[in-house]
A = this chain, B = another copy of it.
């Protein structure tokens, strides 16, 4: 079954869209949030937990899986779905972002990037062909083109060169692809320069991808710049393809980006925050280690239906966290993922009921 995207509905007042992607491993209702499963596991979660939280698709990190256990090992063990026992859709990134952010001694040239593993210092070369080869071995449902994630800040010239490289590599990725059932998304770079973003878009879309991502956002730039780019560039993307804002983000960022027409998100915030005892609720952000929760018999969030909220008190969660127990990470992660999934549910329902603008206003009003 090849990849497809159906645009179900456009919000009359904003750019928000309701859609459905179909992949070989199942459908995804959009706007969608993808929990991050860096090393072949969403940290502390079993696949059933992720599914019960309502996630329909997860993200796998090519850089990590390439270095450990190695994409050929994953292939021999049945591909990433079988390897990690996750039957649903998987999107893999290209590995580029982690090469730039995690590895040592990286050297980017026109043909690819040399880098040293952050694990053992071993030397590796990643180029568009290799990025596709790895993702095909992993067998993800959606592959991403290798790009150069332009850092922030960067000069106009740096950003122009970087953007041109990403466009060139995007073409090479498209050519390198051999498995038609794995979708391939292009990535629009261009840093904080709107003209470059538009040029990137004009040069990338004609290559012809199954979806398009905005890359190089949420890399340290002020939030208003991220919002401005999303606001201005998203509507220019083909409306019949899914649009993915990479690495975003906080609940407010998601609500904002949905209003610009973004369909897909991924971010480590819900899972990483959970492991640090930072818990999202509909009324406040809870720092679970605080002494005020010591004897609190209430669930994290009375309005949440997750396993954690149905079975455990804040007092117990505080105890687990303070005592350094593994179960703290498990229960916290379940809650934060479910919180994000409930947010996506609400977003999709609001769009389908023609009241997304109202939802967005309420959401930002509550934050004040």
Contacts and interface: CB of A to CB of B under 8 A. Distances in A.
B329 A326 contact: yes
Give the interface size class of chain A: 35 or more
Contact of A316 (B84, B297, B323): B84
Oligomer: number of copies: 2
A46 B327 contact: yes
Nearest to A83: B316
B330 A69 contact: no
Interface in A305-356: 311-313, 315-316, 318-320, 322-323, 325-327, 329-330
A46 to B, nearest CB: 7
A64 B40 CA distance: 34
A183 to B, nearest CB: 25
A44 interface: yes
Interface stretch (A70-78, A89-97, A131-139, A168-176): A70-78
Interface in A236-261: none
Given A320-B41, A322-B68, A77 B327 contact: no
11 contacts: A41-B326, A41-B327, A43-B327, A68-B322, A68-B323, A69-B319, A73-B294, A76-B315, A77-B297, A83-B316, A326-B326
Given A40-B319, A41-B327, A73-B294, 15 more contacts: A39-B325, A40-B323, A40-B325, A41-B320, A41-B325, A43-B325, A44-B330, A45-B327, A46-B327, A68-B323, A73-B315, A73-B319, A77-B315, A85-B311, A326-B326
